[in-house]
Amino acid sequence: PVDETDGISHHDFGIEQSIRRAVASGLGLREIRKIVEETSIRIVIDNEGGNLQRAAKVLNVTDRTLQKRRADQIKRLEAVVNK
């Protein structure tokens, strides 16, 4: 599908193929959504040079929401490392 705001198709980014692979590997919607969210946050923060306020603006969320999501992500990573 084409996003009417900028004319970019989801196919242009390989998103559909990635989702097909994720589903084929057994991931559900909740897991796929989480992966897309975390990847988007990481990419935008990197693109914005680590500036959370600018990244939040790009992602159309509050900087507090972005801080909270990053903190949750760090906790999950620490839990995996400390297993």
pTM of the model: 0.74
Report which of residues 9 and 41 the model is more confident about.
Answer: 41
- Averaged pLDDT of the chain: 87
Answer with the residue of higher pLDDT: 8 or 15.
15
Closest alpha carbon to 50 in 63, 37, 60: 63
pLDDT of 11 reads: 60
Residue range 11-35: average pLDDT? 90
Please check the confidence at residue 73 and state whether its pLDDT lies above 90.
no
Instruction: Using alpha carbons, select from 48, 82, 49, 52 the residue that is nearest to residue 66.
Output: 52
Give the residue with greater pLDDT, 73 vs 3: 73
